[in-house]
Amino acid sequence: MTPIDTLAPSRRPKWDALLVVLTLLVFLEVWRVQGLVPGVPLLGLPVLCTVAAVLLFWLDRDPRRRLRSLNQPVVRAALGIVVLVAASIPGSLYPALSLSFLLMDYLRAVILMLLIAASVRGLADLRRLAWVQVVGVTLCAAATVAASQIGSDGRLSTVAYYDANDLAMLVVCTLPLVVYLWQRPTGPFSRVALAAATVFLLRTLGQTGSRGGFLGFVAVGGYLLLRFHGISGAKRVGAVALLVILLAVFASDRYFERIQTILHPSADYNWSGKSETGRMDIWKRGIGYMLDHPAFGVGAANFEKAEGTLAPQARERQQYSRSFQWSTAHNSFIQIGAEIGVGGVILFSALLLGAFRTLSAARRGPAGEARVLAQILTGSLVAFVVTASLLSQAYSAYLYALLGMSLGLARVVSPAGARQAPTPPLPSRSTWGPSRVPSIVPFSGGPRRDAR
pLDDT at 451 over 80: no
436 within some domain? no
Q: In residues, how long is the chain?
A: 452
d(CA 119, CA 67): 9
- Helix 211-226 and helix 369-388: axis angle, to 10°? 150
194 within some domain? yes
Cβ proximity of 290 and 297 under 8 Å? yes
Closest CA to 335 of 401, 275, 287: 287
What is the average pLDDT across 110-133?
A: 96
- Out of 109-123, 135-149, 248-262, 436-450, pick the least confident: 436-450
d(CA 425, CA 173): 39
pLDDT averaged over every residue in the chain: 87
Q: What is the pLDDT of residue 7?
A: 44
Q: Predicted confidence band at 37 (pLDDT cuts at 50, 70, 90)?
A: low
Amino acid at 398: Y
Task: Report the share of the chain in percent with pLDDT over 90.
Answer: 67
Bridge-partner residues for 156, per DSSP? Answer: 150
Q: What is the pLDDT of residue 245?
A: 96
pLDDT at 39 over 70: no
152 within some domain? yes
450 within some domain? no
Q: Show the domain range for 67.
A: 4-270+328-424
d(CA 51, CA 56): 9
pLDDT at 446 over 60: no
pLDDT at 224 over 50: yes
d(CA 146, CA 123): 34
133 within some domain? yes
d(CA 368, CA 374): 10
Q: What is the pLDDT of residue 269?
A: 84
pLDDT tens digit sequence for 172-184: 999 999 999 987 7
Task: Report the share of the chain in percent with pLDDT over 70.
Answer: 86
Q: What is the pLDDT of residue 91?
A: 97
Cβ proximity of 350 and 77 under 8 Å? yes
d(CA 384, CA 449): 24
Distance, first Cα to last Cα, the chain: 46
276 within some domain? no
pLDDT tens digit sequence for 342-397: 999 999 999 999 999 999 999 988 878 999 999 999 999 999 999 999 999 999 99
Exposed / middle / buried, residue 309 (Cβ in 10 Å: 0-12, 13-18, 19+): middle
pLDDT at 8 over 50: no
d(CA 265, CA 346): 29
Q: What is the pLDDT of residue 324?
A: 83
pLDDT at 1 over 80: no
What is the average pLDDT across 269-293?
A: 92
**How many structural domains does the chain have?**
1
What is the average pLDDT across 106-127?
A: 96
